[in-house]
Amino acid sequence: MNFIKLSPMNLKSHPSVNEQWVHDKIAEDPGILGLGDVIVRDRERVHPGAGRLDLLLQDSEERSRYEVEIQLGPTDPSHIIRTIEYWDIERKRYPQYDHTAVIVAEDITSRFFNVISLLNRSIPIIAIKMTAFQIDNSIGLLFTKILDTVQLGLVDEDESAIEQTDRAYWENRASSATVQIADQLLNICSDFAPRAELRYNKHYIGIFLNGTACNFAIFRPQRTSTILQVSLPQSDETNNALDQKGIDLLEYENRFRHYRLKLRPEDLEAHRDFLHDLLKQAYERRQII
């Protein structure tokens, strides 16, 4: 077997290769970035007043989008700012997707790596180092992910570390009537999760099943209503069904993929069958994860 010594090269100073060439190669096979099974949703996407987004990628399940900015040579402050700005514009315009900012550069210096790492605590951002190699008369590209997004756990994965309370705590914090809404919602789940029981935590009421946390739904009683959070990916079908039912729907929680419904006692009687189907979907999905 022959050995080939790879020679890294600097694309920024190359006489014939430019950023557009790199865009084309990634667009031909976006999988080379290491972001999974993704497709190109758009290129050179115009953002009035902000410039052009190099590449907009989308995963095959149409749940996640990646705002990708590419730079030859070392990254710089303007590159980082543009990347975050495009990410922010896209997530506000299309909140139904999970959005991730992606910085691609030949050199991500320690200074800017530290800056990106700090941003990564509050903004989903990925940094990818691009290395080019000269192989005879050809050029190869290697993409190495040097900073990934923080992986969020399921709501119940840290259940043991959450401060436990009791029913009296929630009845005092909210009201007896709204805590009873949680009882009724649990009762709706009885045919597909007969052993489920409520677990009273400081910030929410969760679900315990067979001795372990199983938060396919959680409840947050308030004074006159209870917020039901159902763990389901956002979809047009569910959105349309909720609109037709006229249920008080709060903003979708993108990071944990929760629908948030504001329920009053009369809603449970009027929409019992619909809530049953919604909770059952979340339960069945939770068994798969």
Chain mean position to CA 157: 17
Angle of helix 272-288 relative to helix 176-188, nearest 10 degrees, comes to: 70
With a CB cutoff of 8 Å and minimum separation 6, the contacts of 25 are: 32, 141
Q: Which of the residue ranges 155-164, 230-239, 266-275 has the most confident prediction, judged by mean pLDDT?
A: 266-275
Q: What is the CA radius of gyration of the chain?
A: 24
Residue 26 is predicted with a pLDDT of 92
> Is a pLDDT exceeding 60 seen at residue 89?
yes
pLDDT tens digits, 109-140: 777 777 777 776 778 888 899 998 888 788 88
Residue 278 is predicted with a pLDDT of 95
Residue 152 is predicted with a pLDDT of 47
pLDDT tens digits, 206-261: 999 888 889 999 999 999 999 999 999 888 888 889 989 889 998 887 767 889 99
Q: Which of the residue ranges 57-61, 158-162, 215-219 has the most confident prediction, judged by mean pLDDT?
A: 215-219
pLDDT tens digits, 202-216: 889 999 988 888 999
Residue 267 is predicted with a pLDDT of 93
Residue with tokens 């068994």: 287
CATH homologous superfamily of 159-288: Transcription regulator MotA, C-terminal domain (3.90.1150.20)
CB burial of residue 9 (10 Å; 0-12, 13-18, 19+): middle
Residue 288 is predicted with a pLDDT of 53
Residue 194 is predicted with a pLDDT of 93
The CATH T-level fold of domain 7-147 is: Trna Endonuclease; Chain: A, domain 1 (3.40.1350)
The secondary element (H helix, E strand) that includes residue 22 is: helix 19-28
User: Which amino acid does the sequence have at 155?
Assistant: V
Q: Where are the domains of the chain?
A: 7-147, 159-288
The structure's pTM equals: 0.54
pLDDT grade for 149, boundaries at 50, 70 and 90: low
